[in-house]
Chain A
Amino acid sequence: MTVMEPNAPAPGTGPVDDVEDVAKGVSGAGTEEQGITVAEGSSPAADPSAPAAAPQDLGGEMPPTAEELLRQINGLPGGQSWYGDVASEAGDASVAPRPIPMPLPFPLPYRAASGRYRSRPGAFQLELRVDVDGRRPLRRLSGDYYRVSGSTTSYFGSWTVDAVTARVTDTAVTVVGTARTTWQTTFTVARVTIPRTRIGRPAAAATIRWFTPSGASGATYVCAWESAAFRTVELEEDCESGVTPFASYNTATLPSGGPARTLTTAGAFGEAGIQMVDTGGANVVRAPSGHVWNNASLHNAMQRHFSRWRDVPQFRVWLLHAMRHEFGSGLRGIMFDQQGPQRQGCASFYQVMGERNARNLREQLYVNVHELGHCFNLFHSFHKDRMTPPLPNRPGSLSWMNYPRFYNPGGGAPSGEAAFWAAFPFQFDDLELAHLRHGFRDAVIMGGNAFGRGAAFEAGDEYGDPVSDTSGLQLRIAPAEPTVMLGTPVVLNISLIAERSQQIDRREQLHPKFGFVSVAVNRPGGDMLIHRPPVKYCVEPELVTSGRAEEQPVSAYIGYDGSVGHIFTEPGTYRVRASYTAPDGTVIASDVVSLRVASPRNEEDEHIADLMLGEQTGMALTLLGSDSPYLAAGTRALESVLSEHAGHPMAVYARLALGTNAARPFAAVTDDGDVRVRERDLSRADELLTEAIDASRGAAGLDDLTVYETMSYLADCHQAAEDTETARTMRQDALELARSKGAPDSVLRSLQE
Chain B
Amino acid sequence: MTEEERLAVELGEGFSGDRVTLLIDGSEVWHGTAVTTNYSVGIADVVYLAAAPRGATVEVRAGNRSAQLRLPSTPGTPDRVRFRAAIALDGTLTLDLVDEEPLL
Residues of A within 8 A of B (CB): 295, 326-336, 338, 346, 348, 352, 366-367, 370-371, 374, 379-380, 383, 385-386, 403, 405, 451-452, 536, 538
Contact (Cβ within 8 A) B39 A327: no
Residues 61 to 85 of chain B near chain A (Cβ within 8 Å): none
Q: Which residues of chain A have C-beta atoms less than 8 A from B38's C-beta?
A: 295, 334-336, 338, 451
Is the CB–CB distance between A451 and B39 below 8 Å?
A: yes
Q: Taking A383-B13, A386-B13 as contacts, is the C-beta distance between A329 and B42 under 8 angstroms? A: no
Given A383-B13, A385-B89, A536-B90; A330-B40 close (CB under 8 Å):
no
Chain A residues near B43 (CB-CB < 8 A): 327
CB distance from B80 to the nearest CB of A (A): 9
A451-B40 in contact (CB<8A): yes
B51 at interface, CB cutoff 8 A? no
- B39 and A371 contacting across the interface, CB-CB below 8 Å: no
Show 28 residue pairs from A and B whose CB-CB distance is below 8 angstroms, ordered by the A residue.
Answer: A295-B38, A327-B43, A328-B8, A330-B101, A330-B102, A331-B41, A331-B102, A331-B103, A331-B104, A333-B41, A334-B41, A335-B40, A336-B38, A336-B40, A338-B36, A338-B38, A346-B40, A366-B104, A371-B40, A379-B39, A380-B39, A383-B42, A386-B39, A403-B102, A405-B102, A451-B39, A451-B40, A536-B90
Question: Is A328 touching B100 in the complex (CB atoms < 8 A)?
Answer: yes
A346 and chain B: residue at smallest CB distance: B40
Q: Is B49 an interface residue (CB 8 A)?
A: no
Classify the interface of chain B: helix, strand, loop or mixed. loop
Given A327-B46, A330-B102, A536-B90, are A452 and B41 also a contact pair (CB < 8 Å)? no
Of the four ranges (under 10, 10 to 19, 20 to 34, 35 or more), the interface on chain B belongs to 10 to 19
Chief secondary structure at chain A's binding surface: loop
A333 with B104: CB separation less than 8 A: yes
- Residues in A neighbouring B101, C-beta threshold 8 A: 330, 405
What B residues does A346 contact at CB under 8 A? Answer: 40
Q: Between A and B, how many residue pairs show CB distances below 8 Å?
A: 64
Contacts of B41 on A, CB cut-off 8 Å?
327, 331, 333-334
Q: How far is the CA of A336 from the CA of B46 in the complex (A)?
A: 14
Residues of B within 8 A of A295 (CB): 38
Inter-subunit contact B100/A330 (CB<8 Å): yes
Q: Which residues of chain B from 28 to 45 have a CB within 8 Å of any chain A CB?
A: 36-43
Bound CA–CA A380/B103 (angstroms) = 11
CB proximity of A533 to chain B, nearest CB, Å: 12
CB pair B104 A370 closer than 8 Å: yes
A328 CB contacts on chain B under 8 angstroms: 8, 46, 100
Interface-central residue, B13, B40, B89, by most chain A CB under 10 Å? B40
Contacts of A452 in B (CB 8 A): 39
Q: How close is B36's CB to chain A, nearest CB, in angstroms?
A: 8
Name the 5 nearest CB pairs between A and B, nearest first.
A335-B40, A332-B104, A374-B40, A333-B104, A330-B100
Complex Cα spacing A451 to B38, Å: 9
Q: Of all chain B residues, which has the CB nearest A405?
A: B101
CB distance from B55 to the nearest CB of A (A): 24
With A383-B13, A385-B89 given, is the CB distance from A334 to B40 under 8 Å?
Answer: yes
Closest chain-B Cβ to A507's Cβ sits at a distance in Å of 24
Q: Which residues of A contact B90 (CB under 8 A)?
A: 536, 538
Q: Which has the most chain A C-beta neighbours within 10 Å: B8, B100, B101, B103?
A: B103
Known contacts A328-B46, A386-B39, A536-B90; is-contact A367 B13 (Cβ 8 Å): no
Smallest beta-carbon distance A353→chain B, Å: 9
Quick one: closest B residue to A379, CB to CB?
Answer: B39
**Known interface pairs A336-B38, A336-B40; 17 further A-B residue pairs with C-beta atoms within 8 A, sorted by A's residue number:** A295-B38, A327-B46, A327-B103, A330-B102, A331-B41, A338-B38, A348-B104, A352-B102, A370-B104, A374-B40, A379-B39, A383-B39, A386-B13, A386-B37, A405-B101, A451-B40, A536-B90
